[in-house]
């Protein structure tokens, strides 16, 4: 059993913000593989389906990102997942240029409060896929990070975000197998 989590904040106010890219990726996977409707459980929305001969649970914690670790742990325990290495987390990364993807299997939180909270419950041995959100406007205007992450993507960025989400979903079998080669199949900026 694999638990795939997308990080974001709940509510319409945050719906299409940069910080919610994890939610958007989970939504794309949900639609692409025709998962059953999301169900509420443990301060989140989840769906379960067998794909690639593997039971997959997708989860969007609806607690705020800074306290997402406990709902993820509850879901992890509910489905009796044994290893933290079977946890895959999609999240935004402000230190990476827009649309760049990086994979980590362990390490620090990198200043991301959602990851910091997950590490509190799981330690640092879980799989994370980081989506870069930094752009030139953020760098040139020196916008505060807490403001920038809650802004919406520009129209031109949305086109690439949609292409990347689709490519991630299409190559989910490689993600599940923890193959970094799935990055080679993503659109380039």
147-187, pLDDT tens digit by residue? 888 899 988 899 999 999 999 999 888 888 876 666 777 77
Residue 28 reports pLDDT greater than 90: yes
- Structural domains of the chain sorted by starting position, each given as residue range(s) with its CATH number in brackets: 2-185 (3.40.50.1470)
Whole-number Å distance between alpha carbons of 31 and 132? 23
Q: Is 184 exposed, middle or buried (0-12, 13-18, 19+ CB in 10 A)?
A: exposed
Single pTM value for the model: 0.92
Helix axes 69-78, 113-122, angle to 10 degrees: 40
Cβ–Cβ contacts within 10 Å for residue 4, how many? 23
Whole-number Å distance between alpha carbons of 70 and 59? 13
Helix, strand, or coil (residue 94): strand
pLDDT at res. 187: 75
Q: What confidence category does residue 29 fall into, taking pLDDT thresholds of 50, 70 and 90? A: very high
95: tokens are: 């230190």
Residue 1 reports pLDDT greater than 70: yes
Annotated active-site positions, please?
Answer: 19
Whole-number Å distance between alpha carbons of 173 and 179? 9
pLDDT at res. 74: 96
pLDDT at res. 111: 83
Is residue 126 within 8 Å of residue 155, measured between CB atoms? no
Provide mean pLDDT across the span 50-65. Answer: 93
Is residue 101 within 8 Å of residue 186, measured between CB atoms? yes
pLDDT at res. 180: 66
């Amino acid at each position: 059993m694999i638990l795939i989590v997308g990080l974001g904040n709940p509510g319409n106010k945050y719906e299409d913000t940069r910080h919610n890219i994890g939610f958007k990726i989970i939504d794309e996977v949900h639609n692409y593989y025709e998962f059953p409707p999301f169900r509420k459980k443990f301060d989140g929305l989840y769906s379960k389906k067998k794909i690639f001969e593997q039971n997959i649970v997708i989860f969007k914690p609806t607690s705020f990102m800074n306290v997402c670790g406990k709902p993820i742990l509850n879901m992890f325990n509910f489905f009796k997942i044994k290893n933290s290495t079977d946890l895959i987390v999609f999240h935004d990364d402000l230190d990476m240029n827009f649309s760049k993807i990086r994979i980590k299997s362990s390490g620090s939180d990198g200043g991301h409060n959602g990851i910091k909270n997950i590490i509190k419950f799981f330690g640092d041995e879980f799989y994370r896929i980081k989506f870069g959100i930094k752009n030139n406007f953020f760098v040139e205007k020196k916008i505060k990070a807490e403001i920038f992450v809650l802004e919406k993507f520009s129209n031109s960025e949305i086109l690439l975000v949609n292409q990347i989400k689709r490519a991630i979903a299409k190559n989910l079998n490689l993600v599940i197998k923890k193959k970094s080669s799935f990055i080679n199949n993503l659109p380039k900026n």
